[in-house]
A and B are shown apart, each in its own frame.
Chain A
Amino acid sequence: MTHEIPLEPLLRRLTETPPEFLAEPKLGPVGDVHVAALVHDVLFGLNVSTDATYLATFGTDVGATRRNSQKLVMITAWVLSAPCFTALTLDDTSVRDLFVNVVSAMAAQGRADKYVYFPERREELVRSVLAQLGCLPEGESAAQAEDRLTRISGTERMRLISASRAAEARAKEVREALARKAAQESADKWTRE
């Protein structure tokens, strides 16, 4: 059975994300929030099984480059803590994949806090969560929900694909410039180190 969830309360919940869920994730010596513990608590509250291997995905030693993804995990954890979810019986795998695959993909698209502060991104996050959990926004058919999600994330996705291509082209240009003979023979400075 597909659950229908009202969209508005979840969107409002996102706008009211407490500062604790926007704090710095602990990565190495930096940050405060132990994201693995947070994920564990949320999954426990939803009666979703987990194990140490899965939780290690959100550990403090995953590297600084995962900072943005960890932040979005925290924000998503806040959304999933909404009472409307705790009353449901959710598919374990779908919930676990939400934190790993869906959140990672969205974090790669932009700064985590945009999913809190920008209306379209808020809607994208909430709709993505509902779609991953097999739920529908209240009053929408499956086709309508899918269409709406595609539209709001599609615009952003195209922009990001374009930006990603530009970034890769730029990186290639820099690498080629550094490899040029002209770049290599320019060692004209007083000292070598």
Chain B
Amino acid sequence: MTTAPTATPSDADRFPTLSAAGRNILDHMREHPNAPTFRNQSGNRLLAEDITRLKDYDQALGSPPKGSLGSTWIADLIAQCYEIVPFYRALGPAPDRLSDVPPISRADLAADIAAFVPDTVPTDRLINFQTTGTTGHRMLVPSHPEVAGRYLSFHKMALKRFGIVPTYGAGQVGVMLLGHQQPCFTYVSVTPTMGESGLVKLNLHPAEWRDEADRAAYIDAMQPEFIAGDPLSFDVLLDIDCQWKPRALLSVSMMLSDGLRHRLEDWFACPVLDLYSMNEVGPIGVFDERAGGHVLLQDKLWVETLGDDLTALPTGTRGEITVTGGFNFCLPLLRYRTGDYGVLCTNSGEPMIADLVGRAPVRFQSAAGQWHNNIDVSHALKNLPIAQYALHQNADGTLDFALSNRSGQLADKAILALHALLGDLPIQVQYITSDIKVLQYTSDLDL
């Protein structure tokens, strides 16, 4: 049975299976004396049968991908997509090989996302995740409450890699999501597959709190087992004198520098997981320093890297990360170019992405005329705990280095590192005041 969509959702729509214990934890999170202003409402929207299926899904998931990713499920997926997904159906007969499927990009999805939703997906329970990427163009990614629920299975898999098994349950706050931006979607919810434990999304921006000191007090009072956020919000978290030590931090949505990761690990004395995740396909990999890259998490997400000619590159070659499959049954993708770049390789038989960098490679020319890839710049700056930065080379060779204004004290060290790599080029420092993703590397020289 499905609930009919209503114009204005109620708590019954948001929490179809809410128990008294679930209601209590919602009230606890919402009405605590140090609680911030919650701007929005959201819920798991999971029906009883969804929860049963999610538990089965979690049980059946097994291990992360091992060895060769090639499998017969890809052929089935191609045939199915060409049958029931309007975009692919319009391309004609299904090719036999994945390499014959034309790669698509975000622009294809943005042009008409409805054409990528299979005919078989009922629309009455569709939800969407908004994504802007680094282009700033808003796109609605179709999803479903059950798909959102599946994220947990992959986060648990990532945590397991670091020896952590979530234990949170009824009466506890399991996860706290942090943002630091204006505006920010904030709400409280519960996770039915974890005993209706609490889930709270906060904005650490001072304007959302009666008193700035309430931020640390609220986090300490909620005692979340895990805290998820991005480098910008974690940078703020380090400054608010919070005493609570979660069991792990999960960083998503932006590149996390080694420097900031080490600062977080030192302060919170827990692992800091850097997740490579996209609204389109969910968590793709988790960074493991011992493995030397982002280890892949989904067993039914085929990852390949493409060259400039859009053909698959051999393992070990840097290219555009391109994905097929995924657990979002509302958006089955074939050869979706992520716009991110990395080297696909294996470590002890485990597939992973090394040297992951968002966006296309950019080269910078040193004072001596030598060209350096942006990977070299990333390596040069990786030990500085800068929450976010961007480097641009002007046509005259001079550099503009932008960093988050909260990391301003690191500007001098960054300039030293850039001079060591690129020579004595003039560098103008700017500060990033916006809280959206920025294009990290750009150049007027390397066109």
Contact = CB atoms under 8 A, between A and B. Distances in A.
Interface of A: 24, 27-31, 64-65, 67-68, 71, 111-113, 167, 170-193
6 contacts: A171-B114, A183-B126, A188-B45, A189-B148, A191-B177, A191-B250
Interface string B22-47: 00000000000000000011111100
A28 B102 contact: yes
A112 B93 CA distance: 8
Contacts of B142: 174, 178
Contacts of A65: 90-91
Given A28-B102, A191-B250, A177 B279 contact: no
Contacts of B129: 187, 189, 193
A182 B119 contact: no
B291 to A, nearest CB: 21
Contact of A71 (B5, B13, B92, B189): B92
A27 to B, nearest CB: 7
A174 B42 contact: no
Nearest to B155: A190
B5 A177 contact: yes
B52 interface: no
Contacts of B44: 188
A175 B114 contact: yes
A99 to B, nearest CB: 17
B372 to A, nearest CB: 28
B128 A112 contact: no
Listed from nearest, the 6 A-B pairs whose CB atoms lie closest are: A64-B102, A68-B92, A186-B127, A177-B123, A174-B114, A171-B114
A193 B102 contact: no
Contacts of A187: 40, 42, 129, 185, 187, 201
Given A27-B102, A29-B311, A170 B148 contact: no
A177 B126 contact: yes
B42 A188 contact: yes
Nearest to A28: B310
A67 B103 CA distance: 13
Nearest to B188: A188
Contact of B91 (A68, A172, A175, A186): A68
A193 B228 CA distance: 11
Contacts of A111: 92-93
Contacts of B86: 167, 170-171
Contacts of A172: 114
A189 B311 CA distance: 34
A111 B201 CA distance: 48
B182 interface: no
A183 to B, nearest CB: 5
A68 B207 CA distance: 55
Contact of A186 (B45, B104, B175, B177): B45
Nearest to B140: A178
A192 B177 contact: yes
A181 B311 CA distance: 40
A162 to B, nearest CB: 15
B7 interface: yes
Given A179-B140, A185-B187, A186-B148, 7 more contacts: A28-B102, A177-B124, A178-B113, A189-B149, A189-B151, A191-B283, A193-B279
Interface-centre pick from A173, A183, A190 (highest chain B CB count, 10 A)? A190
